[in-house]
Structure 1
Amino acid sequence: MPVSPRRIGIVVTDAYADEDPDYDTPVILDALRARGAEAERVVWHDAAIDLGGFDLLVLRSPWDYPDRLPEFLAWLDRAERASRVVNAPATVRWNLDKHYLADLEHAGVRVVPTRYATTMDAATAAIAEVAGAEVRAESRGDGRVVVKPVVSAGARDTGLFEASDPRARDLAARIVERGGVAMVQPEVAELSAGHEKALYAIDGIFTHAIAKGALLETGGGLRGGVYQENPEPVPATDAERAFAGEVLAAVASVTGEVPLYARIDTVDSAAHGLCVLEVELVEPALNLHVAPEATAAVVDAILRA
């Protein structure tokens, strides 16, 4: 017997940190079922689940994937063979590695300056170069840098440091010594002041904007000691909406598709202008619990898919 043409799997994991729950999935499941769809959670690493029994798999909150990346990539391969997956696995693979920022920059998008390092010598040079550029641009002190791996989520292995702080190099060493690539970016003063803004688009159309405040404490830790976002709906300017459109056009030029869902993290800074911090196309929280007006657009897009 053929499966329902609307059997939809919402891809999740099996456990979440108390301070970072998955608020979106219950909202999406209820809304899909209200529209007559057969929708259920799919734990991505549960080998007993028949992925071929779903007509669509929607990546939503497999938030433990950075700790089990080879397993997640293998799951993507299986899921792609068994069903349709959104966002598309090719786009997800591209977006998993933050080298994609260089692709966006080459496509004409303003991106916070980023250097990549695969050795400690390269990381040390990148820290000095980025910090020196920041001092020249901001006319102040020692300069601060952000160090993080190219594959990460939830601020894992991410730190904000004075450039002279040996902990910046220690973090870079941990990243490169396990075979990773370290990213080095300047501190953006407006970001540290809590002015990051996430712009959301569903099927290429802007839906809402969220501010979540600053997360990093100078010296390598998280403010409050844990990763905890405090999402608040905020208005988006015409310039920000237009910028989101430019970013999505660049994504489409690289990947060949407009993603079903996208979160574009931005900051409007004196040093760099309105620029991209990150474009999240794998599993961004949509924050539908504080922006319920976006739920209909999400469900419509899923049903069209």
Structure 2
Amino acid sequence: MSGERARVLLASARAAEGLDEDEVPLLAALAAQGVQARAAAWDDPSVTWEEADLVVLRSTWDYPERLADFLDWLEHVAGVTTVRNPVDVVRWNVDKRYLVDLTAAGVPTVPTRLVEPGTAFELPELADGGGPVVVKPAVAAGSRDALRVEADGEAVARAHVERLHADDRTALVQPYLAGVDAAGEAAVVYLGGHLSHAITKGAILAEGGPPVDGLFAPERLTPRTLTPAERHAADRTVEAAAGLFGRRPEDLIYARVDLLPADDGEPLLLELELTEPSLFLRLTAGGPARAAERIAAAARAVA
């Protein structure tokens, strides 16, 4: 590629066309960095991925329903060019069983129970203190198929688990932490291992509401100033995740740490997004430029 500008493809999905609000400002910021960049759907067979110096996973938001195909595509692309985040990290991160690994690594995490297909489900064992729980698939994105279930809703919860099991999907059950209703969810964004910005996401799952349908759940978003405890929890999460793969946080081109407040206010990890997270770049000054700088540096390093 000597003498040419670095070339980057932002991997999207045909189902997500026009829905990623960060795509246009990020492409403009990459152009300002002297990078040739465009978006391309991962499921478009006409794309020649090997022509890119770097493929960055962005809005591949339909992968949960096509996981095997997505992972096969990912391995193919990694065989012909460089993919970020790294493939081994993505393979781990697409299944929320990773929460078990992070808990074992000492990250304070929302209590999580995995209910594998064929496993009996009993709501009273899972509801902490008789409160509501959230039932969702272990492989999912955008809160799809997540359901809030009240303490007296065992039949509703069991029916939802059975629907997931019928599709050979593992269910994940967590207590609904009521602090989110007032404080919201903290979404903490890192670019190249460095804190970029944070966003407050309003509570999504309403009492008595149906499971989230569609490609992703609508969100109420506002900029957020992190508390010292939230910053510490988010830093610890990214460091632990990178360490599991013998890497540094700087090796992750992006990461989003989603935190919820426990009853005592302690920030607990809800999800760590290393595959295709919305980064809310448009909601922070200089966000697209910071992301473009990290992507451009990674692309030039391999061009």
Does TM, normalized by the shorter one, top 0.5? yes
Give the Cα separation in 2 of the matches to 1:224 and 1:130.
24
**CA drift at 1:38:** 0.8
**Conservation of the 8 A alpha-carbon contact between 1:24 and 1:286:** yes
Corresponding residue for residue 54 of structure 2:
56
Give the equivalent residue in structure 1 for 2:35. Answer: 37
TM-score normalised over the length of structure 1: 0.90
1:155 counterpart SS class: coil
Q: Relative to structure 1, is the Cα distance of residues 60 and 3 closer, same or farther in structure 2, using a 3 angstrom cutoff?
A: farther
From the superposition, tell whether residues 86 and 296 of structure 1 become closer, same or farther in structure 2 (CA, over 3 Å): same
In the superposition, relative to structure 1, how do residues 197 and 159 fare at CA in structure 2: closer, same or farther (>3 Å)? same
Aligned to 1:143: 131
User: For residues 226-248 of structure 1, what are the alpha-carbon distances to aligned partners after superposition, in whole Å with 9 as ceiling and x for unaligned?
Assistant: 82112111111222222211111
- Aligned to 1:289, which of 268, 273, 282? 282
Please state whether the residue corresponding to 2:289 is helix, strand or coil.
Answer: helix
Contact 1:158–1:220 (8 Å) recurs in 2: no
Q: Determine if contact 2:185/2:202 at 8 Å carries over to the other structure.
A: yes
Q: CA deviation at 1:224?
A: 11
Q: Secondary structure at the match of 2:238?
A: helix
Where 2:103 maps in the other structure, the secondary structure is: helix
> Which moves more between the two structures, 34-43 or 269-278?
269-278
Partner Cα separation in structure 2 for residue 117 and residue 188 of structure 1: 20
Task: Name which of 121, 124, 127 aligns with 1:128.
Answer: 124
Aligned to 2:202: 213
TM-score scaled to structure 2, two decimals? Answer: 0.90
Query: 1:299, 1:88 → 2: CA distance?
Result: 18
TM superposition shift of 1:16: 3.2
2:150 to 159, 162, 170: 162
Residues 49-103 of structure 1: CA distance to partner in whole angstroms, max 9, x if unpaired? 1111000001111111112211111110111001100011111110000000010
User: Residues 174 and 43 from structure 1, CA distance in 2 versus in 1: closer, same or farther, beyond 3 angstroms?
Assistant: same
Give the drift of 1:2: 6.8
CA contact (8 A) 1:112 1:272 kept: no
Residue 269, structure 1, aligned to residue 257, structure 2: no
Look up the match of 2:12: 12
Equivalent in the alignment of 1:251: 241
Question: Partners in 2 of 1:272 and 1:232 — Cα distance?
Answer: 20
Give CA-to-partner distance per residue, 1:27-64, whole Å, 9 cap, x none. Answer: 11101111111111111111111111000001111111
Change (3 A) 1:237 1:82: same
- For residue 176 of structure 2, what is the amino acid of its counterpart? E
Higher relative contact order (CA 8 A, sep 6+): 2
Contact 1:3 1:54 in 2 (8 A): no
For residue 232 of structure 1, what is the aligned residue in structure 2? 222
After TM superposition, give the deviation of residue 13 of structure 1 in Å.
Answer: 1.4
1:197 alignment partner, one of 171, 186, 199: 186
Residues in 2 aligned to 1:282 and 1:244: alpha-carbon distance in whole angstroms: 17
Kept in 2, the 8 Å contact 1:159–1:218? The answer is no
What do you get for the CA RMSD once the two structures are aligned? 2.2
Aligned mates of 2:227, 2:265 — CA distance in 1? 18
Equivalent position of 1:76 in the other structure: 74
Task: Give the length in aligned residue pairs.
Answer: 293
Tell me whether 244-253 or 105-114 shows the greater mean CA deviation. 244-253
Q: 1:96 to 1:233 in 2, by over 3 A?
A: same
* SS of residue paired to 2:120: helix
- Could you tell me how far 1:278 is from its partner in structure 2? 0.3
Matching residue of 1:67: 65
Note the residue ranges of structure 2 that are not aligned, 5 or more in a row: 299-303
* 8 Å CA contact retained: 2:193, 2:253: yes
- In the alignment, the residues of structure 2 paired with residue 256 and residue 301 of structure 1 have an alpha-carbon distance, to the nearest angstrom, of 20
Deviation at 1:220, TM superposition (A): 4.4
Give the letter for the 1:250 counterpart: A
Identity value in percent: 38
Q: Distance in 2 between matches of 1:224 and 1:90?
A: 29
More moved, 274-283 vs 255-264: 255-264
Tell me, yes or no, if the aligned pair for 2:282 and 2:288 is still in contact at 8 Å: no
Kindly indicate whether residue 95 of structure 2 is the aligned counterpart of residue 97 of structure 1.
yes
